[in-house]
Amino acid sequence: MRFDLVLDNWHLFAGGMWMTLQLTMLSLLIGFCIALPFGMIRAKSNGIGSKLINAYVYAFRGTPLLVQLYLIYYGLSQFEWVRDSFAWVVLREAWWCALIAFSLNSGAYATEIIRGAVQSVPAGELEAAKSLGMSPFKVNRLVLIPSALRRALPQYGNEVVFMLHGSVVASVITIQDILGVGRTLNARYYLAYEGFLTAAALYMALAFVVVFAFRQLEKRYLGHLKISR
């Protein structure tokens, strides 16, 4: 085992970690911005808007992330009108295609998380807010959404870990994330395991940090629910 080569090329893994964190955190942020309004609509409406959102959620939850990435990166480039459009400035870049795929995928999963969290908020909390004379907008902003987001913490923590692990597919379209660097190291020095073992250790470390952070958030924001039980 040549782990001395890993140490000699540690700067490559540092860059790979930064790339992985970039893609993961940005896609989660964009996905959350998609999911919050979509989840509210799904929880409160059965109209055409809710049905369209449900179709989007089903499409992205029902297909593998790798297939979605391939369709965006390789599939869209097959259309001449796409290559001639202003969008080609973005879609020709692997990084942007990965960000779009990851964001849409995360948004679909987070939509269902938020929908379930909104529906789990006790009706008594909302009735109490209304009895104080709050408008529907204030009830949503000050009571419903904060309460739902607190209840969504455990499930959303899982989504963050899944998105972190799912980001490995970015390496198949030439992006040098953690796994991409591991592959490059193995290919450069004709190694079998060292690059992959290092990548696995880094993903485990990042997952541990995420899980620990969400555990602390749960203790702070969900502790009152455990006490009440």
Q: What is the CATH number of domain 30-164+204-228?
A: 1.10.3720.10
pLDDT in tens, 50-108: 999 999 999 999 999 999 999 999 999 899 998 999 989 999 999 999 999 999 999 99
Number of other CB atoms surrounding residue 169 within 10 Å: 21
Task: Yes or no: say if 169 and 159 are a contact pair by the CB < 8 Å rule.
Answer: no
Q: Is the pLDDT of residue 229 over 60?
A: no
DSSP class of residue 64 equals -
pLDDT of 171 > 60? The answer is yes
When pLDDT is averaged across residues 8-18 and rounded to a whole number, the result is 94
Q: How far apart are CA 105 and CA 98, in angstroms?
A: 10
Domain definitions of the chain by residue range: 30-164+204-228
212 has pLDDT over 90: yes
